[in-house]
Amino acid sequence: MENQDKDYVRIFDTTLRDGEQCPGAAMSENEKLEIAHLLAKMKVDIIEAGFPVSSPVQFQAVERISREVDGPVIAGLARAMQGDIESAAKALKSARKKRIHTFIASSPIHMKHKLGKKPDEVLKMAIEAVKIARDFVEDVEFSPEDGTRSEWEFLREICEAVIEAGATTINVPDTVGYTTPEKYGELFSFLKNNVRGADGIIFSAHCHNDLGLATANSLSAVKNGARQVECTINGIGERAGNTAMEEVAMALRTRKDFFSIATRIDTTLIARASHLVKTITGMVVQPNKAIVGSNAFAHESGIHQDGVIKNRETYEIMTPQSIGLESNRMILGRHSGRAGFKDRIIRMGYNPGQEELESAYTRFLEIADKKKEIFDEDIAALFADENRKSKTDRFLLTYFHISTGSTTVPSATIKLKVDDVQIEESSTGDGPVDAVFKAIAKAAHISPELSKLVISPVTEGQDALAEASVTLSHKGKLVVGKASSTDILEATALSFVNALNRL
């Protein structure tokens, strides 16, 4: 267990658990592992890898992350039930540092309508859950769900009880995004000053963004003694999302004069992590999103541009470099050689093997032939595409032709390599995307249902890369496919094939 005397804010990243609960954000086992490795590289303190008992995929992902990811504490979520806790313990068995995070609702509305239990019954279940968890691990976190709508005296009582039972971290979640910064800060101050044993444990903040206050609430908790913040990359999560990790890390770094405390996060990997999560989940980051939005370091106003040219600090309180961006753009093109390309990607944080480098460079040249300039975001999208490729992929799109217009029926002809056999098919559709999807499905002999299609630009300009994310459902299985290209129709077609390979 960590030394709790060190005064810094621990980052508990729940992108792989709470973040994944966002509709459409389900991740495969390999995708979870890829994100977990980058979180470890960012020096995240705790990774909540999943909810093991909820499904075999969740269990396998937590088990694999526990086995393959070094550095952070690996946590598994469990309800205050013996079966949940045992499942979490089994999944975490290989982790060098492990934590069981158990919870039970504590607000009057949840206890009455969701649990159908009285406060004394909930208190007993909380104590028993922590004791069972301590039989498996030394590091146990307890959360009174819907803590901000709970009665403060009951919170004090349940916190004291679970500390005595062996809890090492107590998280007070704003489960429904109801509280305000002032009240949330007061709650942490109350618990720190009135809970017996509070000095020996870590208090944690976990906020949802229903009122747009998640980051402000979390920072207020830090100001009042919380030393752990639970958050997600890009703020993804249920409903309006969770506290955004990049906002907390950069707020504490930028305003250390006010908070007098910081995290241990390597902030230069924030931009890369944001892009990876966006690519894997297919959830677009709004341009004006704090820290990682495409406009976060952009200046269009003449007054602003003049000020920044004279002194960056007139309108920028952070540098692009502080989150891993060299600048707003990078100038690489078709005449750039391997050496320049390799130097650039290494400075961006990638460390490819020779085979991966050659494949990426070939793809880079293809893009450079279609674009005047290649930006950092294009390179990140390129590597995301390379990572999605698999030698075991069954389907490979080798050719497509689409015909469409205002007075013609959209049609598509494609050639799909299926198990090393080239199959050509044609189809019409309601539009060019529908036509190419139907043609590919005919060649693959699979008829999935299209649940969602998202197309977003990677960079700006007429020659920008487009990133497509398609969600397919088939026989109860939901998968997400992604791809990028300067051609929107090619990006959508390739994302459809990527999804079929996942099926």
Q: How confident is the model at residue 358 (pLDDT cuts 50, 70, 90)?
A: confident
How buried is residue 263: exposed, middle or buried, by Cβ count under 10 Å (0-12/13-18/19+)?
A: buried
| Lowest model confidence (mean pLDDT) among 26-30, 185-189, 369-373, 403-407 | 369-373
- Residue (of 106, 107, 135) closest to 123 by Cα position: 106
Q: What is the mean pLDDT of residues 274-283?
A: 88
* Tokens 């990638």, located at residue: 350
CA-based max dimension of the chain: 76
Greater model confidence, 372 or 341: 341
Between 28-37, 135-144, 211-220, 476-485, the lowest mean confidence (pLDDT) is in 476-485
Please state which of the ranges 111-115, 131-135, 247-251, 473-477 shows the lowest mean pLDDT. 473-477
pLDDT tens digits for 31-64? 999 999 999 999 999 999 999 999 998 999 999 9
Could you give the CA distance from residue 302 to residue 279 in angstroms, rounded to a whole number?
Answer: 33
Gap between the Cα atoms of 312 and 291, Å rounded: 16
344: which residues sit within 8 A by CB, 6+ positions away? 330, 332, 379
Strands of 477-485's sheet in order across: 449-457, 466-474, 477-485
Cα 255–Cα 259–Cα 262 angle in degrees, nearest 5: 80
Q: Is the pLDDT of residue 409 over 60?
A: yes
Nearest partner of 44 among 66, 71, 64, 17, judged by Cα: 71
Whether 312 has a pLDDT exceeding 70, the answer reads no
Residue 122 Cα to chain centre, angstroms: 32
> Residue 339 pLDDT > 70, yes or no?
yes
When pLDDT is averaged across residues 167-196 and rounded to a whole number, the result is: 98
pLDDT of residue 162: 98
Q: For residues 229-236, give the mean pLDDT.
A: 97
Give the C-alpha separation, 272 to 361, whole Å: 19
314: confidence class by pLDDT, cuts 50, 70, 90:
low
Through-space distance between the first and last CA atoms of the chain, rounded to whole angstroms: 40
Could you tell me the pTM of the whole model?
A: 0.75
Secondary-structure class of domain 10-281 per CATH: alpha beta
Pick the residue with more confidence: 375 or 212? 212
Report the top-level CATH class of 395-502: alpha beta
pLDDT > 80? residue 151: yes
Mean pLDDT computed over 178-187: 98
